[in-house]
Chain A
Amino acid sequence: MSMNNSKKVSLAATIVAASAETTEAFKSDRVQKLISKIRDDSAEVRTEAWLSASEAGAEAVKPLAEVMTEKKLEVARAAKRAIWKIVRHAGRPGADNEKRAVVGELVELLGDEQPVPVRREVLWMLSEIGTRRSIKPIAALLSNKELREDARMVLQRIPSKGALAALKAGLEAAPEDFKLNIAQSLRQRGEKVSGYPCVKLVPTKKTTVKPL
């Protein structure tokens, strides 16, 4: 490599690095602006913000999830709607990289450190765009009493062999009081399940109202 070429490569690398920094800074700035608007007192500003959230993409998912836990009802709601907007945009045909990035962020929100309402919402987001990468963390929630029913339904919805295998493994591991639920998901996925019959037509709830 000649000196000139070497200089050119070095210059190019510097430009790329600077450009990446600028892009990151731009993205970070965009997310901060979004969060600021989501927290605004004006319903119009909040609405405009969550409607435009898809542009912020995967980087905005975790910061928005934090806002979802805020006490101000409408601010938390706007944050939730903003993430949904990102999910719906990332799921469009031909946007696989974007989708993968969003899924990656969502999966990281399934941990025990997150409040149950956030994790429940994230589960349902993954039901729409979840990929192979999301199966294991979702399946892990089949043993969480508060989230297992949502996790079961989400696995049922994700049309992959991995999700099906997770449900089968879940049936083996589940406590007796949850096996019927998973068996139902397996039936919905076209599997034959023995030992855990469908109980959908079995009435269970009695009224206190008496006939005249």
Chain B
Amino acid sequence: MKRTNQLNRREFLAAAGAAVSVPYLIPSGVMATPSRGGANERLTMAHIGVGGMGGYHLSDMIERRDRGEVNIAAVCDVDEKRLANAVKTAGPGVDAYRDYRYILERKDIDAVVISTPDHWHGVQMVHSAECDKHVYVEKPACCTIEEGKAMVAAAKKNKVSVQVGSQGRSQPEAYLAHRYLVNGNIGHISRVDCFHYPSPEDNNPVPDSDPPPELDWDLWLGPLRWRPYNRRYCHGTFRWLLESGGGQIRDRGAHVMSCAMWWMGADGTGPVTIEATGTPPKQGLWDSAVLMEVTYIFKNPDWMLTWTQMPNEKLPPAEERTGEEPGGKIVRPGYGAIYRGDKGEFIHWGGDGGTWAEKKAREWEPPAGAKDVYKSPGHKEDWFEGIKTGKKTIMNIEAAVGVANLCILGNLSYILGRKLEWDQAKQEIVGDEQARRMMSRPQRHPYHL
């Protein structure tokens, strides 16, 4: 086992910056087993998927390793070029794999960071949990309703800590927004309108072709039905295909709607109806909606959530800032949400690694007796704390699947062209046989749940 330079529990928690202002309720049976992974030991990590966000996570983890907080044992990618780069970046002592299952076989690895395309998240998270690994998995949690159910079940059964990469919840201004809203500053909130710029259209469609030699196309596709390689459907661009990334609603919806569910205290709840319309791309392989409007109706308590991909000129203007604010200047003003209460409105921009709250929330001074909310020490720190103590993470798998389900159901309603009814308790679509079949998608052998 690669466990050197051991930290004791106190040192680990200090290193992880694990200050918790107000604990929130943790339902029994969903906690990771406390101290798994070794409360007094440095965690040994492996990274599955090292391009894009995976590259960011690896660099971030290398910094933590260099500070003596973790070990990095292995990196994995189906693209040999990306893998070779990751090996170079991570340095000596880090093993390389194409097939993530070699990592899962290793008993010395405590936790994995999964940053693969979305269609792999469910399968790899479940397999990792089944092999007793704690998991940080990029958002969105899943591509189908059934994947989400399997993920929740696997985390619970194997008692592993899971953090999903909707890191907006852990941003400093997310805390300020949350605190501002729960203290009734805009009154009772009955509606949240999420806004986003359009999904892109493929303006350079190309025919299918052979995959590049460095890419294991079979393994890249993994659970998806087989299809020939296409240059417009691979790293990064998978986001714009419904079967994988699902478009902006699943990519950024997993951030913006994550904030909404968290701040509205709606984790664990779900809509009763979902109705979507949209405009498809006019050409190319990408098929996610360019413009889109989705309405989610929640009952008991009653509120409405909407998701709108709109032309850029219709987006609300971003707030002027000096850069001295907790979140700095707004660098991604093209998405966020407007919270509508009976005493006023509140807007935030972003919702991911950049989450920017309107000035009135940032400047609000809580009076004596005001409610406080959980302040994340950082998204990874919160995960480490979950591993060490068994506490539920801020973007735990139940919450993340709940948010992903919103995105999935929105896309399903768009694809089917009709309103859907959802039974939150049973986690299923009601009264629509075709939609019910689409809650799951059979996966290719052997890349299945």
Contact = CB atoms under 8 A, between A and B. Distances in A.
A120 to B, nearest CB: 8
A127 B442 contact: yes
Contacts of A210: 87, 96
A73 B205 contact: yes
Contacts of B416: 88, 91-92
Interface residues of B, number: 54
In the complex, which range does the number of interface residues on chain A fall in?
A: 35 or more
A161 interface: no
Q: Is the interface of A mostly helix, strand, loop or mixed?
A: helix
B433 A211 contact: no
Q: Interface majority SS on B: helix, strand, loop or mixed?
A: loop
Interface stretch (A2-10, A17-25, A151-159): A151-159
Contact of A91 (B94, B101, B433): B433
B446 A184 contact: yes
Contacts of B264: none
Contacts of A153: 225, 442-444
Contacts of A156: 442
B417 interface: yes
Nearest to B91: A212
Contacts of A208: 80
A157 B446 contact: no
A180 B445 contact: yes
B432 A149 contact: no
Contacts of B449: 200
B443 A201 contact: no
Nearest to B90: A212
Contacts of A184: 445-446, 448
A74 B283 contact: yes
A164 to B, nearest CB: 13
A128 B434 contact: yes
B362 interface: no
Given A43-B283, A91-B434, A201 B101 contact: yes
B434 A206 contact: no
Contacts of B102: 203
A207 to B, nearest CB: 4
A122 to B, nearest CB: 13
B92 A157 contact: no
A194 interface: no
A44 interface: yes
A149 B83 contact: no
Interface string B423-449: 000000001111001101111111111
A124 B225 contact: yes
Contacts of B445: 149, 152, 180-181, 184
B84 interface: yes
Nearest to B88: A212
Contact of B442 (A73, A89, A188, A201): A188
B319 interface: no
B432 to A, nearest CB: 5
A33 B280 CA distance: 21
A50 B130 CA distance: 44
Contact of A154 (B94, B105, B131, B442): B442
Contact of A202 (B84, B87, B100, B101): B101
B131 A159 contact: no
A97 to B, nearest CB: 15
Interface string A82-105: 000000110111000000000000
Contacts of B415: 88
B342 interface: no
A211 B96 contact: yes
Contacts of A201: 101, 104-105, 127, 130-131
A202 B446 contact: yes
Q: Please indicate which of the listed interface residues B87, B94, B216, B437 has the most CB atoms of chain A within 10 Å of its own CB.
A: B437
Contacts of A128: 434, 437-438
B332 interface: no
Given A128-B437, A185-B442, A200-B127, A209 B283 contact: no
Contact of B96 (A51, A198, A209): A209
B58 to A, nearest CB: 14
A153 B225 CA distance: 9
Given A81-B280, A200-B127, A211-B95, 12 more contacts: A47-B283, A128-B438, A149-B445, A157-B437, A157-B440, A157-B441, A201-B131, A206-B98, A207-B83, A208-B80, A211-B92, A211-B94
Identify the 4 closest CB pairs spanning chains A and B, nearest first.
A91-B434, A153-B442, A203-B101, A207-B98
17 contacts: A44-B282, A51-B280, A54-B417, A88-B415, A88-B416, A88-B417, A91-B434, A128-B437, A128-B438, A154-B442, A180-B445, A188-B442, A203-B100, A203-B104, A204-B101, A206-B99, A207-B99
